[in-house]
Structure 1
Amino acid sequence: MKLKTEVNPNPDNLSQREFGGHILMDRVSFRYRQGAEPALLGTSFEVLPNEMMAVVGPNASGKSTILKVILAMYQNQAGQVILDGMDIRQINPLVLRQNIAYVPQESRFFHGTIAQNLRLSHPTASDEELMEACDLANLTNDIEQLPEKLETRIGDHTVHGLPSGFKQRLSLARAFLKKAPILLLDEPGQTLDFEADKAFIDSLKKLKGTCTIIMVSHRPSHVKLCDKVLSMENGMVVNLGTPDEIYQSTDNQTPQVEDGNRS
């Protein structure tokens, strides 16, 4: 409760704005605590509006940290994160996050119905919009088999009893429902089986070109869909190029990645 509020009441702090999704990270450095090794060190890259970029690299290379800094969950100690020509520190965090859909590694849900959990990202969404998002996340058949469908209650101990793949797809549906100009995905396929991952790839193909997507992933099938690939190691950029360029530079092998739970 002693933490300083994020929302800046200063009228110069943007209240409303539509974003195109142009992201520029310029020599960004960040440490989680004083004295710790930098999680990001001089990290620079650019993602143009409606581009899709994969972020790859071994465990603890800074992949997830990039997404959290873009979300302003953490403030970089050096460098700038620029969204559509504005440093994100000049943007009201509430407005910033209204324009970003985020799928974290670990899905979180609150006690309530599936519909209520989905509407956390879009409170005024209609039932039709909910089902469209569920279709895109390959979740419709699972929901239809539930006793109360979208009104089925989850939360408390029932969440732990749900299959991990179902929870991951529910998290994806919540992000898709938002229809934000920027979509951040942190290991979205880590708990999906083969069929679910295949459906997820189809969803990415449908979304490609409609919003800016930055996806942390270790799966070559995901990486090859992207316009560009950012390869990270020890918080630093070691390579940036198209999937073909990255694969050629590693003798047609997958870029160095690890299937870790934390980055």
Structure 2
Amino acid sequence: MIRNDSFALYRRLLAYVRPYTKVFALGVLAMIVNAAAEASVPALLKQLIDGSFVEKDPAFAHLMPLALVGLFIVRGLSDYAHTVALSSVATHVVLDLRKSMFERILTLPLAFFDRQPSATLMSRLTYNAQQISPIITSSLITIVKDSLTVVGLLGYMLWLNWKLSLLFFTVLPVIAWVIRSVSRRLRQYSRAQQNSMGSLTHVAHEVLGAPREIRIFGGAAYEAKRFADVAASVRRYMMKTTRTSAANGPLVQFIAVLALAAIIYYATLATRSDQLTVGGFVSFFGAMALLLAPLKRLSNVNEALQRGLAAATSVFEIIDAEPERDTGTREIARASGRLRFDEVVFRYPGAESDALHGVSIDIRPGESVALVGASGSGKSTLMSLIPRFYAPDAGSILLDEIDTREIRLADLRANIALVTQHVVLFNDTVAANIAYGAPGEVSREQIEAAAETAHAMEFIRELPQGLDTQIGENGTRLSGGQRQRLSIARALLKDAPILLLDEATSALDTESERIVQQAIDNLKRGRTTVTIAHRLSTIANADRVVVMDQGRVAEVGTHEQLLARAGLYHKLHQMQFRDGSAPAATPES
């Protein structure tokens, strides 16, 4: 029923049961009692017929009905006990697996997310994890209880008439072969179905996240077809699983019934020759009839079992994924903010060429440095290396003359604040979003001060509950400029000595950009700032401008120096002014 390579997987799942051993043991004990009660029914039936109807013993006539009622009370109570106990354990196991997955996801390197769509991870976290539950509940109940019931009934049949029982045993190897063959197919179909479900979640996630783009570009028909294709794939694998599982039960039953027919024939002969009493015949026949239901459940348990094991494989792939490596051992408090890139080389996994080629930049504490260049020039890659989202393949990045690979990740990132064009806010209050990531406890006054400095209190005061207003998923109830000012307030409250600004105003209108730029100027004071900007007017007042070209440093200097040099920066500047996308630079206030 379970392939050899699946036993290790099943044992690993049962390891998650260990904290709930007492409840699990209670469930198993209740299953054993329930199986014993079910196997006792034909024996009780024999005594009832032989004692009450054949021998006409009055004691049996009074005791047997009571015994029958008592037996079914025990059976009912034990059935309730094992169902509730094992369901309790199963829900705890699924909860623990989800927590383990989520905790591991929080520690995985960014390269993992580059390879795995978020919707696929969501599908594993929700749908796949839930598929494991039947392994602890219905599948386990079937395997343990029904196996014990079958063993008990077969044992009773052997005791009653071993010759007739041997006829039934001849079909067991055939049944085992059928179940083994079906198991392989069910595992394959279950894995394919779960992958298709991940694709379905991915498509739905993309569509639900882009309603404006789909409507403006007329993509509804295309998305409907894409969703229909993936949904059809899910249905196709579901039907393959259903057909295979549905054929399994009747096939096993047909094989069992062939043996049953032969047994009935020989049992009739045995009764005629007084080798078997009437009660014994009815009891033997009843035991065989009772065997059919647990045999059917045992043959059909493969569907849920293989689906659960396939789901467990995908869940453990996440849990076993290698977390982000923290090679640092040195602890640092607040850094002065000096950053130095020394011949840094980096290539993305699977890429054919380097994204950075021997980049060297020395940034002084408190200095504002802007990174500019065409798309793909290496600006974002360079910035991603500072908090060690990725590690350089060669060269080094030093913070206060300490290689960042030697610094504990928590200490390194505690010294860095990040503001990007893609603002990430959480479905919580304004205050909670500002306080997110701030070290230790923060007071209401500190939150208000940060919001004031970021020019955010101007709109927060107008919100229904002020700082306590729920902002919706990713701040959907706020404008782009308001969301950006909240992210700046969050960075202000963190008060890190190094500030990374990635296209922080590129998606804003002129008025919002003006307000946000004032907030950014407040945020930059006293901090080492690395800024990526396509709008050259926003970085004209930077202390230095580093021009990137194809992963290399092409030019370094102030805005005026680079314009006077008439090089690559001058060309970028001229292109923006010619397109009318960059207004003239304003002097620093």
Relative to the length of structure 1, the TM-score reads: 0.88
Report the AA paired with residue 364 of structure 2: L
Q: Name 1:95's counterpart in structure 2.
A: 411
SS in 2 for 1:221: helix
SS in 2 for 1:154: coil
- The CA RMSD measured in Å over matched residues stands at 2.4
* Structure 2 spans left out of the alignment, 5+ residues: 1-318, 582-589
Could you tell me how far 1:136 is from its partner in structure 2?
2.5
Q: Name 1:2's counterpart in structure 2.
A: 320
Could you tell me how far 1:250 is from its partner in structure 2?
2.9
Could you tell me how far 1:188 is from its partner in structure 2?
0.8
More helix by share: 2
C-alpha offsets along residues 111-131 of structure 1, whole Å, 9 cap, x if unaligned?
Answer: 211111111121522222222
Please point out which of 143, 155, 159 is paired with 2:460: 143
Could you tell me how far 1:46 is from its partner in structure 2?
0.9
Measured at CA, do residues 257 and 61 of structure 1 come closer, stay the same or move farther in structure 2, by a change above 3 Å?
A: farther
Give the distance between the partners of 1:14 and 1:189, measured in 2 at CA: 35
Aligned pairs for 1:64-213 within 5 A: 64-122=380-438, 123-156=440-473, 159-213=475-529
Could you tell me how far 1:233 is from its partner in structure 2?
1.4
Measured at CA, do residues 209 and 116 of structure 1 come closer, stay the same or move farther in structure 2, by a change above 3 Å?
A: closer
Identity of aligned residues (%): 34
SS in 2 for 1:58: coil
Q: Name 1:41's counterpart in structure 2.
A: 357
Pair 1:15 & 2:355 matched: no
> Does the CA-based 8 Å contact 1:57-1:257 persist in structure 2?
no
Higher deviation after alignment, 244-253 or 163-172? 244-253
Measured at CA, do residues 162 and 208 of structure 1 come closer, stay the same or move farther in structure 2, by a change above 3 Å?
A: closer
Could you tell me how far 1:204 is from its partner in structure 2?
4.1
> Does the CA-based 8 Å contact 1:168-1:192 persist in structure 2?
no
Could you tell me how far 1:38 is from its partner in structure 2?
2.0
C-alpha offsets along residues 188-221 of structure 1, whole Å, 9 cap, x if unaligned?
Answer: 1112222232233333444455010011012233
> Does the CA-based 8 Å contact 1:187-1:217 persist in structure 2?
yes
Highest Rg: 1 or 2?
2
Higher deviation after alignment, 92-101 or 32-41? 32-41
Measured at CA, do residues 230 and 162 of structure 1 come closer, stay the same or move farther in structure 2, by a change above 3 Å?
A: same
C-alpha offsets along residues 230-259 of structure 1, whole Å, 9 cap, x if unaligned?
Answer: 101111111011111112223766548889
Report the AA paired with residue 153 of structure 1: Q
Higher deviation after alignment, 38-47 or 177-186? 38-47
Higher deviation after alignment, 219-228 or 175-184? 219-228
> Does the CA-based 8 Å contact 2:499-2:524 persist in structure 1?
no
Q: How many pairs does the alignment contain?
A: 256
Relative to the length of structure 2, the TM-score reads: 0.41
Could you tell me how far 1:16 is from its partner in structure 2?
3.8
* Structure 1 spans left out of the alignment, 5+ residues: none
Q: Name 2:165's counterpart in structure 1.
A: none
Give the distance between the partners of 2:571 and 2:324, measured in 1 at CA: 43
Higher deviation after alignment, 188-197 or 65-74? 188-197
Higher deviation after alignment, 198-207 or 23-32? 198-207
Higher RCO by CA contacts (8 Å cutoff, separation 6 or greater): 1
C-alpha offsets along residues 133-169 of structure 1, whole Å, 9 cap, x if unaligned?
Answer: 222222111111110111111243x733432222222
Report the AA paired with residue 2 of structure 1: D
> Does the CA-based 8 Å contact 1:138-1:196 persist in structure 2?
no
More strand by share: 1
Higher deviation after alignment, 21-30 or 170-179? 170-179
Measured at CA, do residues 256 and 87 of structure 1 come closer, stay the same or move farther in structure 2, by a change above 3 Å?
A: farther
Q: Name 2:240's counterpart in structure 1.
A: none
